[in-house]
Structures are given as structure tokens and as C-alpha cells.
Structure 1
Amino acid sequence: MEMNQTQRLPVPRDIAWAALNDPELLRQCIPGCESIEPDGDNAWQLALTAAVGPVKARFKGRMALQDIQPPESYTIAFDGQGGAAGFGKGVARVSLAPDGDETLLTYAVTAQVGGKIAQIGSRLIDAAARKMADTFFVRFTEVVSGSDAEADTEAANTDNDAGGQADGASTAGEQQEGKRKRSWTAWISKP
């Protein structure tokens, strides 16, 4: 399987680079990701649940960064095992190019799958991979651009204008923080 795409990120390159190297942020943005744990220099163990057609499995794998050239590019080598569902492995070349106040992120992925997943057919595999990538970039763009935080601020301001402080005891900052936590939970669980 091969997949190439360019995404426009509404932030400068240094912010995009920092976000791409933040494991917790990536865990929140990768569909089905349960954990990302350090496993040596520039390497992580991952656990995620993914569905390809009728096959749904929990995959455990490793991701390692290679050819790191901050803040321009790196290569991600990955492999994962999903038990009876099969395996996946490959490489992804990621590069960032400044474009005014924004960044163009370009990636090229080459991957192989085996087991039950490989029997499903390349069209379903490609469609599932594109859907995961699209979901990741929607989430990633929202996080790095701060669009959720801006929406929370507007919602908190609207609530304060309409009803004042909740129970008369909390401050606007506490209300805003509570809203941010709730919106993150809802946002992370979006399909």
C-alpha cells in the first residue's frame, strides 16, 4: 500500500514540528490509539484498535523516528501485530515546509499488511488507511490551531453572559476549564 498527501496546517512550522513530536498530543489525535510509551531514543511502543472492513483488532507495535532533521523532516518506521488479524509494517516520510504563517505537511507512506487483513482486499485497506489519516489530520489541525480552545472561550463567555457564575461559587476560569475538559472528551471520541 502506498499513500501520499499534503495537508495545510494553520500554524508556523516550529509549532507543527513540536506538535508532531508530542506523544500525548499524537495519542489524542491517532484514531483508536490507547497508549504511546517511550521505548528508547526517538522510539515508542503503541497500542491501538483499528477496523478494516469486517476485521477489528487491537494492535501493538513500535514506531521509531529516523533521519531526523528538525524542523524540516523525519522518517517513521513502524510495525505492529494484531494477533490473528494480522500485521502491518512500513515507513512514512514526513516533511514540513513553511508557507507564510502556515505549514505544508507532506507525507508518503509505504506499508505492507499480512494475515486476515491482507485477505480483505486492497481497496478496503486503502479506504481504511485514508479514513484514519483524514481523521488524524482533522484532529491534529484542531489541536495545533487551538480551534477547540477558542470555541470553549466563546462558550464560556456566552454562559457567563446568560447566567453568571454557576452556583455563585466558581470563577469564569474554572467554568472555562471545566468546559475545556468536557469538550476534549467529546472531541477525542468523535469517529
Structure 2
Amino acid sequence: MDLTGSHILNADTNRIWAMLMDTDTLARIVPGITRLEKTAENEYKAVAEIKMGPVSGSFSGGLTLQDIREGEGYTLHVKQSSKIGNADATIRIDLKPTDEGHTELVFDGGAKLSGLLARTGNRVMSGVAHTLTKQFFNNFEQEIETV
């Protein structure tokens, strides 16, 4: 399943970068995350609860930041497992300054699904991924406004 897109955030690149590197901020803005704890440098244990249409489950696993380019982006590797299946995703995140005080966050990658998640079908899972992405950016915008 492909995961690609972009969104313009109402903050400069330095601020967006700081927020993306902060564990507490990520735990608040990533949909479904109930716990995110640092286990090593750029490695985290993540627990998530996802309930959306036919997709519902408790996921746990790891989240790793790789290929870190200070202030520009990184590659996010997420490996989660649950009773309803597993997800293994690698997504490149790039930050691009647009005009004064705005940043475009571009993401490009994919996820491999197994178990019930894979059997649910790409169309349903693509819809779920789209909804979660939209929630992520809505949460991110709200976080920018409150900080």
C-alpha cells in the first residue's frame, strides 16, 4: 500500500522539525497513539488503538527514525503487530520551506500488511490510511496553534 502526499503547515521549518523530534508532541498528534516511549537514540516503543470501520485493534511495536537530515527530514520505519495483523511501513518525510513562516511536509513510502489487515483489501485500508493522515495533519495544526 502506497503512502504519499503533502501538507503545508503554518509554522517555519525549525519549529516543525522540533515538533517532529519531540516524543510528547508525536504522541499527541499521531492518531491512535496511546503510548510512545523512547527506548534508544531515535528508537521508540509505540502502542496504538485504531478503530475505524472494519479495522479495529490494539497495535504494539517499534518506531525508528533513520537517515536523519537535521532540519530537513528523516525516514520513519514503523513495525506494528496486533491480533488482526501486522504492518511494516517505511516513509520518507521531507520538510520544505515555502513562504515566510510556512513549511510543506512531504511524505512518500509504503506499508506491507499481513493477516486480517491484508485480507481487508487495499481499497478499505487505503481509505483508513487517508483518514489517519488527515487526522494527523489536523492534530498537527491544532498543536501548532496551542504551542
Q: Distance in 1 between matches of 2:47 and 2:8?
A: 28
Q: Distance in 2 between matches of 1:64 and 1:44?
A: 6
Matched, 1:56 2:56: yes
Q: Distance in 1 between matches of 2:40 and 2:76?
A: 14
Specify the alignment match of 2:18 in structure 1.
18
Give the partner amino acid of 2:131: K
Q: CA RMSD in A?
A: 1.2
Deviating 4+ runs (over 4 angstroms):
none
Q: Distance in 1 between matches of 2:54 and 2:102?
A: 39
Give the partner amino acid of 1:27: A
Specify the alignment match of 1:96 in structure 2.
95
Indicate the structure with greater strand content: 2
Q: How does 1:95-134 map to 2 (within 5 A)?
A: 95-100=94-99, 101-134=101-134
Judged with a 3 Å threshold, the aligned counterparts in structure 2 of structure 1 residues 78 and 87 are, in CA distance, closer, same or farther, namely same
Provide the secondary structure at the position in 2 that maps to 1:8: strand
Q: Distance in 1 between matches of 2:38 and 2:54?
A: 31
1:164-190 deviation line (CA, Å, top 9, x unaligned): xxxxxxxxxxxxxxxxxxxxxxxxxxx
Residue 52 of structure 1 deviates from its aligned partner by 5.0
1:18-38 deviation line (CA, Å, top 9, x unaligned): 001111111111111100011
Provide the secondary structure at the position in 2 that maps to 1:11: coil
Check conservation: 1:33, 1:48, Cα contact below 8 A.
yes
Residue 53 of structure 1 deviates from its aligned partner by 3.5
Q: Distance in 1 between matches of 2:27 and 2:105?
A: 19
Check conservation: 1:60, 1:81, Cα contact below 8 A.
yes
TM-score, reference length from structure 2: 0.95
* Identical aligned residues as a percent: 26
Identify the structure with bigger relative contact order (alpha carbons < 8 Å, sequence gap 6+).
Answer: 2
Give the partner amino acid of 1:103: T
1:110-145 deviation line (CA, Å, top 9, x unaligned): 10100011111110000001100100101101212x
Q: How does 1:163-182 map to 2 (within 5 A)?
A: none
Residue 90 of structure 1 deviates from its aligned partner by 1.6
Judged with a 3 Å threshold, the aligned counterparts in structure 2 of structure 1 residues 18 and 53 are, in CA distance, closer, same or farther, namely same
For structure 2, list consecutive stretches of 5 or more residues without a partner in the other structure: none
Q: Distance in 2 between matches of 1:31 and 1:90?
A: 16
Residue 99 of structure 1 deviates from its aligned partner by 1.2
Residue 55 of structure 1 deviates from its aligned partner by 3.3
Specify the alignment match of 1:27 in structure 2.
27
Q: Distance in 2 between matches of 1:52 and 1:8?
A: 26
